[in-house]
Amino acid sequence: MDNLGELLHGFGIAITLPHLALMVIGVLLGILVGVLPGLGAPNGVSLLLPLTFGMQPVSAIILLSSMYWGALFGGSVTSILFNIPGEPSSVATTFDGYPMARDGRPTTALATAFGSAAFGALIGVILITFLASWVAQVALAFGPAEYFAVYFLAFASFVGMGGAAPIKTVVALAIGFAIAAIGIDTVSGSVRLTMGVDELVKGVNFVVAVMGLFGIGELLVAVEEEFHARAVSSKIEWREVFRAVGRLPRHSVALLRSAAIGCWMGITPGGPTAASFMSYGIARRFSRRGRYFGTGEVEGIISPETADHAAGTSALLPMLSLGIPGSATAAVMMGGLMIWGLNPGPMLFVDQKDFVWGMIASMYVGNIVAVVLVLLTVPVFAALMRIPFVIIAPLIVIICVVGAYSVSNSYLDVVMMLGFGIVGYLFKKLFYPLAPLVLAIVIGDKAEDAFRQSMLMSKGSLGIFFANKLVTCLIVAGIVLLLLPLVLQLARLLRKPAPSIHETTVQNTARETAREKVII
């Protein structure tokens, strides 16, 4: 337990008055940039970066990472209250968080989200503390083929979920892939799908797409359907905050499963976005109340939030030990490390013990500070829901327009955002699912790069996806998840004559499926 001694030493560094003050400042700033869509953690951290040049590296990283925690929490606020995800990784939180908030339970939704997020982060830090050296080795095993397998798994866990017809899911995925392909292609270096618009060479930014699809799209639907919608009457109830957090242990299976998915994706490094989507998809399939997902289910909030934060936290480990950033924010912080004169890589743990363990200890303390602060703000944020729709609607438009513009100071982004708003509205009206579209926009190009890199390596042979145990397991798991809905349907068809099967629970059906597959 060498690590434990180091950690205690780290706590000695982290728990000092100036550092605690830095954490509070960082977290508050983070909540602010997280709540304002379009700003987001990566931008917030890069804005703050120059201020840290004069600091001790360990103080600087404490400030920046606290801001990261704050932003991760803050990003969930707008997802839940206004259906505008501030970060790619909080998209999945909107699926159940927003319906629950609209249903008059914003306090419950926010408290549940924050509580499970804190749990995820905690598991992530514990993992970093004890498995640092082992984890570093796992990440090294990931070549292009393994990356593709992870992305494939994320897609597979999502296809077939949701009430939408499978063909509509595929259409949404395909449109998402096309949007992800816009801009310069990594593998060939050529410009694709810019349709004569020079500026499109930069590609479509996620924030622009999501603010249109979710924020504006939802607004259009709301304007049409509930023009006379009154504000949701939500009482400011402190007790509900604690009650919601207190109820979390009842969902321990979902919590643990999501934390495991999150840690795995953070280390490998599939990233928090893929983790939250995958966790939501899997929870939907295996939860007893899976069929109610999308209407404001507690586990529909717990699953993506826990996985998001577990992945976000453990993503810092590959950054420290290998110099691969697991997320955009980690990439900015890594730039900071270099400027402070530290070189991320395996030697950091040997050369810079104070820095590494001070930072890890600050992750424990920083997360506790963050969750306390953020829970205190719940009633304030929940109160926003009482503002009448006629006032909040223009505000949402303003937030979306400013957010889209601030991504790269470009009017084209604002126009595109509004265009995506119309797409989002049409998708809703025609019952096309938005989630696969967003997932494909976010990780579609990464999956494509990984696939084509693998093909270059194997000279076009698909055998590379079955070349070792790791990649084979991932691909097989993906295929199983992909075929599961199909097999389930088949099973249902075959069993139709037997009426007793109709009322079996999801778990039973899953077991049936396993047997069914053996038969097939």
Distances (CA, A) of 266 to 272, 311, 494: 6, 4, 40
End-to-end CA distance of the chain: 49
Judged by beta carbon, residue 52 or residue 313, the one nearer other proteins is 52
- Rounded to whole angstroms, the Cα distance separating 399 from 442 reads 21
The encoded tokens of residue 87 equal: 């970060």
Residue 295 interacts with other proteins (CB under 8 A): yes or no: no
Task: Name the one residue in this structure whose structure tokens are 């606020």.
Answer: 77
Q: Provide the minimum distance between the beta carbon of 150 and other proteins in the complex, in angstroms, as a whole number.
A: 14
Could you say which residues in the range 413-472 bind other proteins, by CB under 8 A? 449, 453, 456-457, 459
The encoded tokens of residue 355 equal: 């820095």
Judged by beta carbon, residue 103 or residue 449, the one nearer other proteins is 449
Q: Provide the minimum distance between the beta carbon of 50 and other proteins in the complex, in angstroms, as a whole number.
A: 6
Could you say which residues in the range 218-277 bind other proteins, by CB under 8 A? none
Residue 391 CB-half CA count within 13 A: 7
Q: Which of 315, 348, 369, 401 binds other proteins (CB under 8 A)?
A: 348
Q: Which of 4, 8, 21, 165 binds other proteins (CB under 8 A)?
A: 21
Q: Provide the minimum distance between the beta carbon of 452 and other proteins in the complex, in angstroms, as a whole number.
A: 9
Where do the DSSP E strands lie in 187-295? 191-192
Neighbours of 166 (CB within 10 A): 14
Could you say which residues in the range 143-182 bind other proteins, by CB under 8 A? 143-144
Q: Which of 195, 409, 499, 520 binds other proteins (CB under 8 A)?
A: 409
Judged by beta carbon, residue 199 or residue 226, the one nearer other proteins is 199
Q: Which of 1, 167, 195, 198 binds other proteins (CB under 8 A)?
A: 198
Most distant CA pair in the chain, distance: 75
Judged by beta carbon, residue 223 or residue 456, the one nearer other proteins is 456
* Total number of residues that touch other proteins (CB under 8 A): 57
Q: Which of 12, 18, 249, 394 binds other proteins (CB under 8 A)?
A: 18
Q: Which of 4, 8, 12, 53 binds other proteins (CB under 8 A)?
A: 53
List, as own/partner pairs, every contact residues 132-138 make where C-beta atoms lie below 8 angstroms and the sequence separation is at least 24, other chains included. Answer: 132/3, 132/317, 132/321, 132/349, 133/321, 133/349, 135/267, 135/314, 135/317, 135/318, 135/321, 136/317, 136/318, 136/321, 136/322, 136/346, 138/267, 138/268
Judged by beta carbon, residue 59 or residue 169, the one nearer other proteins is 59
Residues sharing a CB contact under 8 Å with residue 121, sequence separation 6 or more, in sequence order: 69, 72, 309, 310, 312, 313, 363, 367
The encoded tokens of residue 432 equal: 């096309």
The encoded tokens of residue 311 equal: 């992945």
The encoded tokens of residue 135 equal: 């984890």
Judged by beta carbon, residue 387 or residue 462, the one nearer other proteins is 462
Q: Which of 14, 92, 139, 443 binds other proteins (CB under 8 A)?
A: 139
Neighbours of 4 (CB within 10 A): 10
Judged by beta carbon, residue 170 or residue 412, the one nearer other proteins is 412
Q: Provide the minimum distance between the beta carbon of 328 and other proteins in the complex, in angstroms, as a whole number.
A: 7
Q: Which of 115, 304, 344, 358 binds other proteins (CB under 8 A)?
A: 344
From the number of C-beta atoms within 10 Å of its C-beta (0-12, 13-18, 19+), residue 196 rates as exposed
Q: Which of 15, 24, 46, 402 binds other proteins (CB under 8 A)?
A: 46
Q: What are phi and psi of 389, to 5 degrees?
A: -55, -40
Q: Which of 267, 332, 392, 437 binds other proteins (CB under 8 A)?
A: 332
Please identify, among the stretches 98-106, 302-310, 324-332, 506-514, the one whose residues bind other proteins according to the rule CB under 8 A.
324-332
Judged by beta carbon, residue 368 or residue 457, the one nearer other proteins is 457
Q: Which of 133, 252, 295, 408 binds other proteins (CB under 8 A)?
A: 408
Q: Would you say the C-alpha torsion 347, 349, 355, 359 has a positive or negative sign?
A: positive
Q: Provide the minimum distance between the beta carbon of 213 and other proteins in the complex, in angstroms, as a whole number.
A: 20
Q: Which amino acid is at 466?
A: F
Which residues sit at the interface with other proteins, rule CB under 8 A?
18, 21, 42, 46, 49-51, 53-55, 59, 139-144, 183-191, 198-199, 201-203, 322-325, 328, 331-335, 338-339, 341, 343-348, 408-409, 449, 453, 456-457, 459
